[in-house]
Chains A and B, each alone.
Chain A
């Protein structure tokens, strides 16, 4: 398996523009997580899905952020309109089903570095 695939790897945009980040989880994994990493706040969980259903979106900063998972192999994180303070590295991670023997390991993508000017 190729691992968790994220795109784009880098995005530079201007304030007010819409940004869409994409993620393909590892096949067979039924958990998908979106994290944001900044120097100031470290690694923050934004939202996570189980079987394509959002379970906890309490980390989503505000209504400008939205996430969808239309099927088991694809998820998007959208920011509209974007602001300079949204500049960060956004990570997607997936995990296999929670069952006996599963240690809860998350498998991370390489991240999407977003710069909002």
Chain B
């Protein structure tokens, strides 16, 4: 079945860039997503990328997609303490718009002042 994998932990200093990496298996995924979970809260969509794109920039966030290697990354520029959270990579199962997202294990980002 489909699988999404991420590293579990990343620690950076405030002001540095953070790069969170993800690999996925379903090559038919139409969209790939990054969700953010703050302590004690549910997940919220941070950004997404359409599968025919290789890059998307949104303010401090840059998403890079390498479809050949099935690799997705999220770069956060000028990381702030408020960016400390768990970041989940996700793909839509079976492509199209089935409604069923498969999530990675989540990467805990720790930002040190």
- Residues from chain A with Cβ under 8 Å of B96 in the complex: 98
Whether A42 is near chain B, meaning CB under 8 Å from some CB there, is yes
Q: Tell whether A103 pairs with B43 under 8 Å between CB atoms, given A31-B99, A48-B99, A50-B99.
A: no
Contact B103 A104 (CB under 8 A): no
0 or 1 for each of B34-56: is its CB under 8 Å from A? (1 = yes):
00000011111100100000000
Contact A104 B99 (CB under 8 A): yes
Within 8 A of B (CB), among A70-102: 91, 93, 95, 98-99, 102
Q: For the complex, what is the distance from the CA of A107 to the CA of B31, rounded to whole Å?
A: 16
Q: Kindly state whether residue A18 has any CB partner on chain B within 8 Å.
A: no
> How many chain B residues have a CB neighbour from A under 8 Å?
23
Chain B residues lying within 8 Å of A95, measured Cβ to Cβ, are: 99
Residues of A within 8 A of B40 (CB): 110
B98 close to chain A: CB less than 8 A? yes
CA distance in complex: A45, B4 (Å): 13
**A residues contacting the other copy or chain, number (CB 8 A):** 25
Known A-B contacts: A104-B33, A110-B41. Give 16 more (CB < 8 A).
A33-B100, A33-B101, A42-B105, A43-B106, A55-B99, A91-B42, A91-B43, A95-B99, A98-B96, A103-B31, A103-B48, A104-B99, A106-B43, A108-B42, A108-B43, A109-B42
Chosen A-B contacts, 7 in total, with CB atoms closer than 8 Å, are A35-B103, A42-B105, A45-B102, A55-B99, A103-B48, A104-B92, A104-B97
Interface residues, chain A, CB within 8 Å of chain B?
4, 31, 33, 35, 42-43, 45, 48, 50, 55-56, 91, 93, 95, 98-99, 102-106, 108-111
Report how far A98 CA is from B97 CA in the complex, Å.
Answer: 6
A48 / chain B contacts, CB cutoff of 8 Å? 99-100
